[in-house]
Chain A
Amino acid sequence: MVPNDIKTKTKTKTKTYDITIDRGGSEPMTFTLELAPELTVLDALEEIRYSLDDTLLYRHSCHHGSCGTCACIINGTEALACMSVLSSLPGQEITIRPLEGFPVIGDLLVDLSEMVRLMPEGPCLRDSTLKKESLPPEGVDRWVRFENCIECGSCMSACPVTGPFIGPAPLAALHRAIEQTEDPQELERLRSRAYAPDGVDGCDAQFACSRVCPVKVAPGRHITQLKRERTS
């Protein structure tokens, strides 16, 4: 084992990237960096934070598309910075903006708390989608997995609706909760939330939410189903 950093040096050729952080309100700032193309936009932000601008505000945690913290608008489209590989983007000029529709605390840092407040409590887990003949072992109630939605806010940002509307992420979560609940009172509560004036009727069916969702929750499909199930 090599007990130092030597092992981490790669032979990959770097390219010159111009990364523009468009903070909105203030002048956009462009940083020029030499980066290996297999790195991600999040890696670029980390390089900027540690070598060029130690005040840069951005969110990140898991670095593999599971936590949902690093969503921002990259070259005009909502995406997770950690899953946006530089070589997959056209050209070497990249513009990054904070998500739309959320209060911007600074740079790329937005406050998602209003969206989270609109999400119904649970369910965070659901049945596994793996097809298996075997029941789980003793001590495991059922084969489970986390919900797909990582609450990243991309769908909320991309949604073109400007009127009163709670937005795609809470509606998709409401629909999942409606499908899973077995409590009639809870069902009634969830349905009245989904069909409130700022609920499904606010949706223009433009499906921007489904297009940008990084984990394929397809909120637009959930909303369409909610509309169909209104009278059931």
Chain B
Amino acid sequence: MHDISVVVIGGGGTGAAITYDLCERGLSVTLVERGELTSGTTGRHHGQLHCGARYAMADTHIATECMKESRILRRIAPDAIEYNGGLFVAVTDEDCTHTESFIEACLEAGIPAQSITTEQALAYEPALSEQIQAAVLVPDGTIDPWRLALHFFAGAKQTGRAVIRPYAEVVGIETGTSGVTGVAVRQLITGRTETIPADIIINAAGPWAGTIAQLAGADLSVSPSPGTMLAVKGRLTDMVISRLHPAGDGDIIVPQRELTIIGSTQWLSSDPDIVRIPEGDIPFLLRAADQMLPSFSTRPHHMAWAAARPLYGSSRVTDDVRSLSRDFACIDHGQVDKIRGLFSVVGGKATTLRAMGEITADAVCSACGITAPCTTDQKRLPAYRSFYTGGLYGAE
């Protein structure tokens, strides 16, 4: 046990993993989230367990990290993952020109990508287009975003050192001469506003992280960058199907339960609260999906939705949003803004949530002189349903 109060702001996957990691290292953590847990970006993501192949050609570091973390998640949270592997398929002659360099890049990142015949690909997934010209097998999978996050929340609760408080909106960050002192939250359930004392505050608010940082007078450049996903009824494949070309829009199809989901698009928004689907996205996604799975658009429409991803770095002037870093950063505002005890975690992706937790907990422990090592890659997480033990939202 350590006599340090930590408040984590944001009940998405990142906040869940940070809370779990810190609790495992013996710290006491209160997590606050203004709505339901995972109601921001986490719950609405595409649901792909990335082995890293998608990033291999552009960024070996991210690809390596995804491979490592996807293996760990399959071990520690198997109930939240449909693990069926994935296929990258070349649809056009131009796609085919990338095959060799794609496989090389994957192997360099430690991803066991393997070229297979198109006949074999069609045997694995008969719904694939017969027009595909090449296929590469990779270890992708499907995540249940809500239940993966619940696994981490359950792990945090099991330590007895976590207080998880959804429906608690941060309205202020209090600071004194020696750094942060507390977080003012408005409790939606009771209507009361109170201050939770904090020696350490971790801003894990995703696309809202810039707004939270402002409350402390810190400048943090986070761009809400929404994307559209489209689900049709019926499961067309078991494997994740991706287009073999440089990463772009509408080039990943993720099956999940009785659904098949194509994503995504990407644009920039100033408001992450309310995101509406742009005109044109749905016909675009249907066309893109049909190139890989020709029956996709014939299936009954299920739902289209969008959520704002958090992208770190100023992007108001850039033309190509996908060129922004997909990696994540942990910022110690004690170093950059002289606000001791405040950390922000931005960027990242669902597959690497545990690593984000580890890196952030390392930074916090280092700042506090705590030497406890990270153990979250070793232990299997408790069942997600155990999160509900002792009441829906734990000790209040």
Contact = CB atoms under 8 A, between A and B. Distances in A.
A119 B385 contact: yes
Interface in A1-50: 1-5, 7-11, 40, 46-47, 49-50
A65 interface: yes
A116 B139 contact: no
Interface string B259-280: 1010000011111011111110
Contacts of B23: none
Contacts, number: 186
Interface stretch (B31-39, B101-109, B339-347, B352-360): B31-39
Interface in B340-396: 383-385, 388-392
> Which bucket holds chain B's interface residue count?
35 or more
Interface in B33-84: 35-39, 42-44, 47, 78-80, 82-84
Interface in A206-226: 215
A94 interface: no
B289 interface: no
Contacts of A125: 78-79, 82
Interface residues of A, number: 61
Nearest to A70: B36
Interface in B240-272: 255-259, 261, 267-271
A148 B257 CA distance: 6
- Most B C-beta atoms less than 10 A away, residue of A46, A65, A66, A111: A66
Contacts of B126: 132
B301 to A, nearest CB: 10
A140 B83 contact: yes
Nearest to A151: B385
A185 interface: no
Interface string A68-102: 11000000000000110000000000000000000
A190 interface: no
Given A148-B258, A215-B258, A3 B319 contact: yes
Interface in A109-134: 109, 111-113, 116-117, 119, 121-122, 124-125, 128-130, 132-134
Contacts of B261: 64
Given A1-B320, A62-B44, A66-B144, A128 B276 contact: no
A103 to B, nearest CB: 9
Contact of A128 (B235, B305, B388): B235
Given A113-B391, A137-B85, A63 B273 contact: no
Nearest to B44: A63
A145 B268 contact: no
Given A121-B383, A133-B123, A3 B321 contact: yes
